[in-house]
Amino acid sequence: MKTSEQRIQIALQKSGRLTDHSLDLLAKCGLKFTKSKDQLFCFGENMPIDLLLVRDDDIPALVGDDVCDLGIAGLNVIEEKRLDRHGNDASAQFDQVFALDFGHCRLAIAAPEDAPYDGPMSLQGARIATSYPATLNKFLTQHEVDASVVIFSGAIEIMPRLGKADFICDLVSTGSTLAANQLREVQTVLESEAVIIQTRAPLPVEKQDWINRLLQRLDGVLQVRESKYVMLHAPRSALEQIVALLPGSESPTVVPLEGAGDKVAVHAVCREYVFWETLENLKSAGASSLLVLPLEKMMV
């Protein structure tokens, strides 16, 4: 077996909304890498993992054709290529491992600001410009709408102004592209976020072991993202109420405080976001000396 076949190849978007987050996530899993001169290849220094930086649209095929073992891309791209390659209900040549909770956006239909829209039937007979024809066609079929899909790759948002389309179907994140083109979002077609996919090709045991380790670390990184370590002081009498207020925590540690009478210290991992309101409620319930600390790693 060639050395390159023993190393895990992960395809990532080379420049775009997912790039920095993807690299950051892998770095948080402990991967250290050196970038090649052309910035398109990263060699993993401390794990047998290399990164290939490519166009996001190419990621599903690279993983599906077993050129790369894993890929991180938007569900929008994954879903479009899956439908395009295999038709509506055929299985894809890769497994979607899990969603990564970043790169949230949606594939949506947008109309000129003054055009009326009352649900999918308003699309009947219309021309819709998109670079996601397969996903759009699936949506239209599901809603029994007969519309003409104008395939276009490039600045889709200018098509209505050029008189080439009545609607567009494109990715919306902040909505600023639509606003700048006097378009309004009228219909969500697909909710998207970054996901990690794995080839279906059987892999050597050692390689799969490394992939499993990486996936477990990724899961750990995702788990701690919203989690915080909360420390506070509380009168023993208020303990029950205070513990109930800690968001997403299981059996906190309770330690008596030296020379503080009835007071105890409570330490807890909160698995949900700790809002300022939570702290205010804890304080009203009798808690004091509240500390919220970030968590870096977690393995359960």
> Residue numbers of the site for ligand PRP (CB under 6 A)?
16-17, 56, 170-177
Nearer CB in complex with Zn ion: 12/264:
12
Least separation in angstroms between CB 15 and ligand PRP: 9
Residue pointed to by tokens 């319930």: 285
- 235 interface partner picked from ligand PRP, Zn ion, none, CB below 5 to 8 A per type: none
Please check whether residue 71 is in contact with residue 12, taking contact to mean a CB–CB distance below 8 angstroms: yes
Nearest residue to the partner Zn ion, using Cβ? 56
CB 275 within 8 A of CB 248: no
Compare residues 172 and 287 and give the one whose CB is closer to ligand PRP.
Answer: 172
Q: If contact means CB under 5 to 8 A according to the sort of partner, which of ligand PRP, Zn ion, none does residue 175 touch?
A: ligand PRP
Q: Which does 281 bind (CB under 5 to 8 A by kind): ligand PRP, Zn ion, none?
A: none
Stretch binding Zn ion (CB under 5 A), from 55-63, 169-177, 181-189, 276-284? 55-63
Q: How far apart are CA 153 and CA 172, in angstroms?
A: 15
Nearest to ligand PRP of 73, 264 (CB atom): 73
- The smaller minimum CB distance to ligand PRP, of residues 14 and 236, is found at 14
Interface with Zn ion includes 56 (CB under 5 A)? yes
Residues 6+ apart with CB under 8 A from 102: 18, 21, 25, 193, 194
Tokens 């994954």 locate to 78
| 194 backbone φψ class: left, alpha, beta (φ>0; ψ -120 to 50) | beta
Measured from the Cβ of residue 127, the count of other Cβ atoms closer than 10 Å reads: 17
The binding site for Zn ion (CB under 5 A) comprises: 56-57
